[in-house]
Amino acid sequence: AAPDAIAAESSQNRFGSAKTTSSCSPQRHIHLCRETQSEPSPATASSETMRRGTDSHRTPVSEKKAAPQKRRLNLSCLFPLYVVIALGWLASVRLRPARRVPTGDAATLERARAAGCLSSLDELSEAERRPTKSRRHMVEPPPSTIALVCCLTTKGPLSIAIRPRWAPRGARRFYDMVRSNYFSARVPLFRCIKNFLCQWGIAGREHTPDEFRKSFADDPSWLPWGPKFWSVDGVARFAEGYLAYAGGGKNSRGNQFILGLVPNQRLCGGSPWEVPWGELVGERSFATLSQIHTGYGDNGPTQGYLHSHGADAALASKFPLLDYVDSCDVVDDETSEADWAPYPDGFVHATFAK
């Protein structure tokens, strides 16, 4: 019975819930084993105590698995950046030039835009706004403000920059003619010669006020005279698109103009009436210039007929290909009254100054 009891106790200790150990001496004879309760060793107890003490300061596992809190962005650190951006924007606004408001009335501006004319001085290129000595200008033109005019022709728009300081008296006469609606009478481009010039300006007796029939004094030339200056560095003296007066002697300018169809070496070579007072600006203007009919040349209508009859039906019947200026309007004007003041007697432009 003793061996069976020992085996039962051993089985219970192996599979039971009670934790016991069997201490049996390996003797040849079988002895009853003394059951002893399993006790931890002093070293094990000490380690357990230290582990529990350490774990007491650890975050519970359930807390570790919780979603981490989002860190709030401290926007105060970006304040200097906001200040720099704001100052930069204010500086750009102050330095940006204000968009110019054209001086022409709404109807005039709308008509000019529809026709393809420039409608504001802001639309001029830098070279057109402030011309200098270049492949277009033989010498540096006199600095001047501008009155921008839109002329409508049978071949398209012509944008004209009147520059008072180029020739104050000549510029003023054309400016006054435009403001009086002189060109609404349908003015023929009556003498247009290929690769040379186009002459125009006669509206007929009944459409010409007395003030525009009178001749007026010349302006000092800002272009150099004489054969020596026909061309300088390959640049002709009278540029394509320059505008001046036709005349026949000293102080003979009146109401007839010449328009350069191509660069010309001889114009303004000594004739005081041929001093340029303005020029064409804008690509559309030069496109129109190239389309003007030049087939009649010097065989077009006579000045006498135009003075007497103007652009009547007989003229249109005899010269069906003749081109006309139908209207001219000031669309933008930055000039002041002082800009139109004539140069004093004896004034010499820098071009001629020694």
Three-class SS string for 277-297? CEEEECHHHHHHHCCCCCCCH
- CA neighbor of 201 nearest in space, from 257, 241, 280: 257
pLDDT in tens, 258-292: 999 999 999 999 999 999 999 999 999 999 999 99
Question: Tokens in use for 184?
Answer: 């609404």
* Nearby residues of 231 by Cβ (< 8 Å), 6 or more positions away: 138, 237, 265
One-letter amino acid at 160 equals I
Q: Hey, how many other C-beta atoms are within 10 angstroms of the C-beta on 132?
A: 12
Predicted model pTM? 0.74
- CA neighbor of 182 nearest in space, from 154, 159, 208: 208
* Nearby residues of 205 by Cβ (< 8 Å), 6 or more positions away: 307, 308, 310
Question: What mean pLDDT, rounded, does the chain reach?
Answer: 85
Terminal Cα distance for the chain, rounded: 150
What are the phi and psi torsion angles at 11 (to 5°)? -65, -40
* Whether 276 contacts 224, CB under 8 Å: no
For residue 31, what pLDDT is reported?
A: 47
C-alpha 143 chain-centroid distance: 23
3-state DSSP call for residue 255? coil
pLDDT in tens, 129-159: 999 999 999 999 999 999 999 999 999 999 9
